[in-house]
């Protein structure tokens, strides 16, 4: 998703909001918002959630268009070498079924080595089903302070070690372990291991 900044700018324009107004509501500088929109900086996880809240969009909306890939065998000569953006075509099942090959996953790269990869794309608003990757030392907020947002989060650890602080409690998760929590409780995620952390994450908003 090299165009994350463009999607944020489009959402801001649709909301009729200036760069300065968005910056004020998210508590960052206008120049930082401009850098993000121009692809020169990446937001932290917390800042991305703040953008989504203020602009009244789902985080999943920032991944791109929804749709379903049909079997390329039904379209001879179109599957091989097809650009992922062109793999999604209208279908009677497009609102109910999503199958995504690993090579076609939309992803969001954020500050400090955090990456989200979308695992499924359905029209359900406020739901993000993702594979998340945190580089060693990476955390969900730029300053390490817990933040809160609407909804619930559910996670399953694939590899590595993740420290999750929820309110006054701290949990250290390793491969095979799971967690679920109310995202309105201030929280922060941090990779405290020496290897990249990988997990499957589901974030469900109550707003949609």
CB atoms within 10 A of CB 38: 11
Domains of the chain: 4-64+106-204 (2.60.120.10), 65-99 (no CATH)
Q: What is the pTM of this model?
A: 0.71
- Output the tens digit of pLDDT for each of the chain's 208 residues: 458 888 899 999 999 999 999 999 999 999 999 999 998 898 988 899 899 889 988 887 787 643 333 333 333 333 334 343 343 344 444 557 888 888 888 888 888 899 999 898 766 777 889 999 999 999 998 888 898 888 899 999 999 999 999 999 999 999 999 999 999 999 999 999 999 999 999 988 775 5
């Amino acid at each position: 998703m090299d165009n994350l900044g463009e999607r944020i700018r489009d959402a801001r324009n649709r909301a009729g909001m200036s760069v300065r107004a968005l910056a004020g509501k998210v508590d960052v500088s206008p120049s930082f918002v401009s850098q993000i929109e121009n692809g020169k900086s990446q937001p932290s996880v917390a800042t991305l959630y703040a953008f989504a809240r203020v602009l009244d969009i789902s985080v999943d909306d920032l991944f791109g268009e929804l749709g379903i890939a049909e079997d390329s065998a039904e379209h001879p000569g179109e599957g091989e070498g097809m650009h992922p953006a062109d793999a999604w075509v209208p279908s009677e099942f497009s609102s109910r079924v999503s199958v995504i090959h690993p090579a076609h996953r939309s992803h969001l790269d954020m500050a400090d080595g955090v990456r989200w990869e979308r695992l499924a794309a359905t029209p359900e608003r406020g739901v993000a089903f993702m594979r998340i990757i945190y580089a060693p030392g990476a955390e969900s907020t730029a300053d390490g302070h817990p933040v809160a947002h609407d909804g619930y989060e559910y996670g399953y650890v694939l590899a590595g070690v993740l420290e999750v602080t929820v309110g006054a409690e701290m949990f250290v998760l390793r491969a095979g372990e799971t967690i679920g929590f109310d995202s309105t409780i201030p929280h922060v995620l941090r990779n405290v291991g020496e290897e990249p952390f990988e997990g499957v994450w589901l974030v469900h908003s109550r707003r949609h």
